[in-house]
Amino acid sequence: MKDIAQGYMTEDGRQIGAVLMELKNITLKFGGVQAITNASFDIREGEIRAIIGPNGAGKSSMLNVINGFYHPQEGEVWFHGKKRPSMPPSEIARQGIARTFQNIALFHGMTTVENVMTGRQLMMKKNFFWQLLRVGPALEEETVHRRKCEEIIDFLEIQAIRKTPVGSLPYGLQKRVELARALAMEPKLLLLDEPMAGMNVEEKEDMSRFILDVNDQYGTTIALIEHDMSVVMDLADRVVVLDYGKMLADGTPDEVQKNQAVIDAYLGVEN
Amino acid sequence: MGSFIYSVLGDPFVQMLQMPDFLMQVVWEGFVSGILYALIALGFVLIFKASGIFNFAQGIMVVFSGLTLVGLHELGVPAFLALFITLGVMYVLAFSVERLVLRNLVNQPDIILFMATIGLTNILIGLGQWIFGGETKSMITEQLWLPTGSSVWEPGGGLVIFQHIDIAAAVIAALLIICLALFFSKTKVGRALRAVADDHQASLSVGISLNHIWVITWFAAGIVALVAGIMWGARSDVSFSLQIIALKALPVLVLGGFTSVPGAIVGGLIIGIGEKLFEIYWGPLFGSGIEGWFAYVIALIFLLFRPQGLFGEKIIERV
Ligand SMILES: Nc1ncnc2c1ncn2[C@@H]1O[C@H](COP(=O)(O)OP(=O)(O)OP(=O)(O)O)[C@@H](O)[C@H]1O
Ligand SMILES: [Mg+2]
């Protein structure tokens, strides 16, 4: 793949921009376990970037490094062309990085709308005094944000469960609500940890379509982890392959599929 | 034997029916105590929900806030200014607890955090005694414009006495609870608090700062403690023995569930009223001091049948 500094053109004719995030020589350890070893790759503006690899390869750990849940022992994270200092995940969220979780993490006591509204939390500025009184500017602010949430709810076709407490929803819908909450943050970079795990074929197709639409309509850069190779081939512009915490390959879906090391890793061949 | 059964199962109810006005008096007094138990339990619940910490210091926070208020007034600070400063002190306390304790102990096992709150309890006791002295003080009830008289109600020739301070306590507690409920349901900070109570990681991922929320919850628990301190102080006195009463919050929590605000309220009322009824009507049978242990007995019995509390979700052990 020819990599031009300013970006590149995908096979389906989308223009990919400059580097948005760069991970440099990341090493992450948990006691004796080396979850990630010296991994480096970048994520470009407007791109759909997949991270794949066998179980325990360090994929989720990588997302956790990107959104600040984990702090790597070595390496640097560059965002918007600047080296990012160590900071709490809530601060990183404020900088425009949203995510979903491998094991859904929703607010179970809340309805779908309320969950999605938490994604607007950071943008609401009026203090609680005005919010309590429900007058003027605070009411206006609430209305503006609620409208945005309804738009996202429509976009993801979950209007029917707007007022349902999320705890009682089936798995596939919970995943969708989680995506809605992340989208409500209008993130620059969206991290999806196995967005289609445990879904049936039809649900997977829906989710794939939503991911493509999000990328297309909002221009959101997406990094996703996925086990289903056919889904990865359909969605991703570029793929990083991890195995036992080490980078095996980085390239277009076609390139990594042909890579011998990747084939071996997936077939379980020892070295 | 038969007369014993009668004195347990018959006589007390006969007495209740014979003197309904006295029964009403007993229930009312139990109700007011119950409200104060509920307030103390509410402080526990707020902190437990937001951070999963069983805050042993909640009781001493009641004493400490009351002591600060009265102590400042003794130093010549006008009552309402003292009230305002005490609120400030509770904020500083919340802020310091977050900075010095929670922030450093985050992700430690619950028992460590529990021990930390025991440490905090002793620090607050020491601090309170050092600054304001250990002797009993009386609440500055009138200076805070709280009523002190009493009214008599004579339903059908009977007699029920209402202390005005008790009525005020009930009204103020109700207002406080309504304010908290509105705050939780209608504001973005309230929404963030509920989010944190539900899931820490998810909260962080939408940009909610746990540290910020912890300060707010500890401050809210501090305000609740201050209100409880003023009300209880006005009914009796402000002294360190008050913290024993605060331990009554434990059975209330067992009854209401550790994470349920309505549970804390209903649990507080059940314990308050039940305890008073038992003391008056069954007390002579069991000897005095029944008020001290009755609540724990109710809680224990309750624990056997409904360990998750009145309003708690059913506990399902994952296997
Ligand atoms: N918080 C943690 N504490 C200790 N070890 C951890 C932690 N998180 C991850 N690990 C370890 O790091 C390694 C990589 O885990 P990770 O969850 O990143 O893998 P993954 O590629 O996402 O796997 P999967 O496909 O099963 O989700 C594993 O050995 C895991 O046990
Ligand atoms: Mg994973």
Q: Give tens-digit pLDDT for B1-43.
A: 678 888 878 888 888 888 889 999 999 999 999 999 999 999 9
SS3 state of residue B19: coil
Task: Give the end of a domain, one of A134, A159, A186.
Answer: A186
- The number of distinct structural domains making up chain B is 1
Structural domain for B128, as ranges: 11-305
Q: Is residue B316 included in any domain, yes or no?
A: no
Q: Is residue A28 a part of any domain in this protein?
A: yes
The H-or-E segment that residue B22 falls in is helix B20-51
Of B188, B189, B205, the CB nearest to A99: B205
**Which residues on A lie below 8 Å from B201 (Cβ)?**
69, 101, 105
Q: How far is CA B194 from CA A127, B47, B219, in A?
A: 17, 12, 16
Closest approach of chain A CAs to the CA of B154, in angstroms? 41
Judge: A128–B182 Cβ closer than 8 Å, yes or no: no
Q: How far apart are CA A175 and CA A126, in angstroms?
A: 30
pLDDT in tens, A88-103: 999 999 999 999 999 9
Cβ neighbours of A114 in B, within 8 Å: 191
- A70 Cβ closer than 6 Å to some ligand 1 atom: no
H/E stretch holding B217: helix B210-235
Residue B311 is assigned to a structural domain of this protein: no
A101 located within any domain: no
B314 in a structural domain: no
Quick check: is A267 in a domain? yes
Mean residue pLDDT across chain B: 88
When mean pLDDT is compared across A27-31, A68-72, B7-11, B43-47, the lowest value belongs to: B7-11
Q: How many domains does chain A have?
A: 2
Residue B6 counted as domain residue: no
- 3-state DSSP percent of chain B in helix, strand and coil, to 5: 75, 5, 20
Whether A57 is in the pocket of ligand 1, judged by its Cβ within 6 Å, is: yes
Residues A178 and A44 both lie in one domain? no
Q: Indicate if A116 and A91 belong to the same structural domain.
A: no
CB contacts < 8 A, A to B, total: 83
Asked if A17 and A51 sit in the same domain, the reply is yes
Do A68 and A193 have their domain in common? yes
A121 and B207 within 8 Å at the Cβ level: the answer is yes
Q: What separation in angstroms does the CA of A254 have from each of A1, A52, A55, A152, A233?
A: 10, 14, 22, 33, 8
Q: Which of B63, B28, B31, B48 is nearest to B265 (CA)?
A: B31
Distance A250 CA to ligand 2 centre (A): 19
- The answer to whether residues A175 and A216 belong to one domain is no
Which ligand 1 atom lies nearest to the CA of residue A31?
4
Q: What is the ipTM of this complex?
A: 0.91
A208 lines ligand 1 (CB under 6 A): no
- Decide if B106 is inside a domain: yes
- pTM value is 0.88
Q: Name the β-bridge partners of B153.
A: B160
Q: Which of B186, B194, B202 sits opposite A132 (nearest CB)?
A: B186
> How many Å apart are CA B310 and CA A89, to the nearest integer?
36
pLDDT tens-place string over residues A226-269: 998 889 989 999 999 999 999 999 999 999 989 998 888 876 65
**Ligand nearest the Cα atom of residue A71:** 1
What is the span of the domain harbouring residue A150? 108-186
Question: What is the Cα–Cα distance from B43 to A109, expressed in whole angstroms?
Answer: 20
